[in-house]
A = this chain, B = another copy of it.
Amino acid sequence: DFLNALEEVKPLFGVAEEELGKRLRGGIIPFSGFIEDILEEGRLFINQVRKPGSTPILSVALHGPPESGKTALAAKMAIDSEFPYIKLVSPEDMVGFSEMQKVQQLDKTFTDAYKSPLSIIVIDNIELLVDWVPIGPRFSNTVLVALKVLLRKEPPKDRRLLVFATTTERSVLQQLDLFNRFDAEIAVPNVNTQAELAHILRHSGAFSDRDQQRAIGEIQEITGSAEIGVGIKKVLTGIETAKQDQDMPGRFARVMSRAIAANRSL
């Protein structure tokens, strides 16, 4: 029965792993101690669900600033669980879907998951999934209510399900009464200190020690502060842009400083 279930969901698994793998292309750089803490927290929840007779459905919200690595971390946790059914639900795969089609897709994903004894569903960018726009504000009530209901719906007997969801809009989800439907939350941080930034520059292999020091020095000069506060993904893209410039450290400093300023003005 367990084996049958495994058999049944195998093809789904393969596809999903590739999808999730794509989200991990930049790897997980351990630029701070928090990164390992987050992954450890994930393992704890995975074990809670794995244990027979325990919590049949558990949901965890990964929230943090834009491009801070939420999706990559959720993907990492899901893949490492080695659960027989893993599925990514992403707005990217629903461009042009009507509200009803989105709900049907969600419902199908959960129904499929109930067929496996142990499942993980990663719901990416949950605020985009509900079409959140701050002006109005506007959002899809239909998708929102469906999510609320599915996050609390108990799977059939002997089926257990773990849901990871990512979002940049924790307080929006709170206002929508969606956040409190999650059983737990994990905060994903920006690259915040010069030491963390240095770690990443070193890891990139593109910056000599001198270049790295110059870049960080110039950032401090331009922004007038040692605080960084930029998402890991933005840092990695900034490195690539800088590589095109003859003055690599200078360009990197300018790009980073603009990102730092933009974040502060929010």
User: A residues within 8 Å of B by Cβ?
Assistant: 22, 25, 44-45, 47-48, 51, 54-55, 58, 66, 91-92, 95-96, 98, 100, 103-104, 106-107, 125, 128, 131, 133-135, 137-139, 141-142, 144-146, 148-150, 152-154, 175-177, 180, 183-184, 237, 240-241, 243-245, 255, 262
Residues A95 and B58 in contact in the complex (CB < 8 Å), given A134-B175, A241-B44:
no
Residues of B within 8 A of A96 (CB): 100, 103-104, 107, 146
Shortest beta-carbon distance from A93 to chain B in Å: 9
CB within 8 A of A243: which of B48, B133, B135, B244? B48
Residues of B within 8 A of A148 (CB): 128
B139 and A135 contact, CB distance less than 8 A:
yes
Q: This chain: how many copies in the complex? A: 6
Residues of B within 8 A of A154 (CB): 22, 25
A27 CA / B54 CA spacing, docked (Å) = 14
Shortest beta-carbon distance from A161 to chain B in Å: 14
Residues A92 and B176 in contact in the complex (CB < 8 Å), given A55-B240, A145-B128:
no
CB within 8 A of A240: which of B25, B48, B240? B48
A103 CA / B102 CA spacing, docked (Å) = 15
CB within 8 A of A48: which of B55, B91, B131, B241? B241
Residues of B within 8 A of A245 (CB): 44
Instruction: Please name the 8 residue pairs, one residue from A and one from B, whose CB atoms are nearest each other, closest first.
Output: A96-B103, A92-B153, A55-B240, A54-B240, A47-B244, A91-B149, A48-B244, A95-B107
Residues A183 and B145 in contact in the complex (CB < 8 Å), given A100-B96, A104-B96:
no
Residues of B within 8 A of A241 (CB): 44-45, 48, 55, 183-184
